[in-house]
Structure 1
Amino acid sequence: MNFDELKKQWDNQSSEEVQINPDIEIKKEANTTIDKVRKVMKKDFFFQLTSFPLLLLYPFYFEIHSTIIWWMIACIFAIMTVPLYYLIKFYKSSYRLEYNSLRNINWFYYNFKSSVNIFTLYTYTVCILCILFMGSIFIEREMFLNVEDPIVLFTIIIISLILYIIFCIWVMKWWIKKLYKKPLEDLKEILNQLEE
């Protein structure tokens, strides 16, 4: 068979017989979304690392060098390190897979979703520890103790803590929504398309 015969057969072939798999475009879109997620995670990881040195500055700022404060900082570091370890592990293992199958995209989606949940719990834990830390600083520095009425002192502390908790929860929810909500929804939509 020569080249001219092949060319004739090619021209005579119906274009309706050639079908391109529609999943290829969807999987390409999933790869793009996964790449965006990785970029966001990398930026967020480096942002989170800035909180470690800032935590070390508090005792110097408030001029408190008691062993209790340094012990609490060590505990906060330990609590901050464990979730970051799992997030880094997920980030690194996400590069080992090729996202050309439903199974791998599914794996990424559910691990990414659990990573967002870990990040949320991690933030709540750090907020509670910061409340403990700031309370210790106030006790060590004997702040608010010049208030004569204990009811007023108690009210000021409770209102301050409630406002701090509300602020932390609002910032955390805003942060997660801004960085992670859209890619999570995009991946869910891609999975729904692939499963149809």
Structure 2
Amino acid sequence: MNFDDIKSAWSNDNDDNVVVPSSVDQLKTLQLPVEKLRSNMKIEFYVQLFSLILIGFLPRYTYFAPVLIIPFYVVYFVAVAISVYYFFKFHLFYKQLNTATLRSKDRLYALYYEAKLSIEMYKSYAYTLIPFALLEMAMHMASRQDSKMKAVFQAAVTNQAIAITMVSVFLAMLLLLMAITTFWVNSYYGKYMKQIGKVLEEFKEAA
């Protein structure tokens, strides 16, 4: 990348409310987190796509009670439909997120807020998939003939206390996984967003 060209483009921007970066180092400070965001998004996309495809073959490679196969695929295809929508939005944002963004101050500011919205959307997507994952795990455990969970599931049908306990455990696991997801997203993307935000604040202060 030619940083002189980028700086020249910033200088020609008509936005008087934001100063031009005073050094190549400032431009590099912006470039690095943008590139890291793109890299992390690309890796996570392939990991999620591979995982989603692998889950679809789960009943073929592990035992599932015949009565649970159709419910499994109903849950699975709903999760796939949600994922397709997310992947589409993911692709659109990924195309916008590149170092060419540094050639426009307005675009960089807009992209910063778009990235924040996209991260919140990603959290929502992950939160939505967690119940599906827990349901499919429960169906798998209930299918095993030697599983103690199968006996627990059967007992929950007639015992209200056991049923309430199972629902409480399910909700606790749901909240725990949501907390882990939030921590993961903040660690994987949040630090780069903070770096971009810090540089943008420096531009404002220097204006």
Range into which the TM-score falls when normalised by the shorter chain? 0.7 to 0.9
C-alpha contact 1:27 1:100 (8 A) present in aligned 2 = no
Q: 1:48 to 1:59 in 2, by over 3 A?
A: same
| Secondary structure of 1:99's aligned partner | helix
Aligned to 1:49: 49
2:100 is aligned with 1:91: no
Question: Does residue 1:69 correspond to 2:68, yes or no?
Answer: no
After TM superposition, the runs of 4+ consecutive aligned structure 1 residues lying more than 6 A away are: 138-142
- Paired AA for residue 112 in structure 1: A
Q: Residue 179 of structure 1 corresponds to which residue in structure 2? A: 188
Q: Is the 8 A contact 2:155 2:162 kept in 1?
A: yes
Percent of aligned pairs sharing the same letter = 18
Q: Is the 8 A contact 1:102 1:191 kept in 2?
A: no
> What CA distance in whole angstroms lies between the structure 1 residues aligned with 2:49 and 2:35?
21
Shift of 1:162: 2.2
Residue 117 (structure 1) aligned with residue 120 (structure 2) = yes
Rounded to whole Å, the distance in 2 between the matches of 1:34 and 1:52 is 27
Structure 2 counterpart SS, 1:22: coil
SS in 2 for 1:119: helix
Q: Which moved more, 1:72-81 or 1:118-127?
A: 72-81
Mark the structure with the bigger radius of gyration: 1
User: What is the CA-CA distance between 1:80 and the residue it aligns to?
Assistant: 1.4
Give the residue type in structure 1 aligned to 2:187.
K
Question: Match for residue 165 of structure 2?
Answer: 156
Is 1:147 the counterpart of 2:150? The answer is: no
**Structure 1: how far apart are the matches of 2:39 and 2:111?**
15
Q: TM-score, normalised by structure 1?
A: 0.76
Q: Which residue of 2 aligns with 1:39?
A: 39
What's the C-alpha RMSD, in Å, of the aligned pairs?
Answer: 2.7
Unaligned runs of 5+ in 2: 1-19
Structure richer in helix, relative to its length: 2
Number of residues paired by the alignment?
A: 177
Q: Which moved more, 1:153-162 or 1:56-65?
A: 56-65
Q: Name the TM-score, length of structure 2 as normaliser.
A: 0.73
State the distance in 2 between where 1:146 and 1:62 align: 18
Q: Following TM superposition, by how much is the alpha carbon of 1:69 offset from its aligned partner in structure 2, in angstroms?
A: 2.1
Q: Is the 8 A contact 1:62 1:137 kept in 2?
A: yes
Superposition deviation, residue 105 in structure 1: 1.4
Aligned counterpart in structure 1 of residue 199 of structure 2, from 170, 190, 193? 190
| Structure 1 position 189, deviation (Å) | 0.8
Contact 2:33 2:196 in 1 (8 A): yes
Unaligned 5+ segments in structure 1 are: 1-19
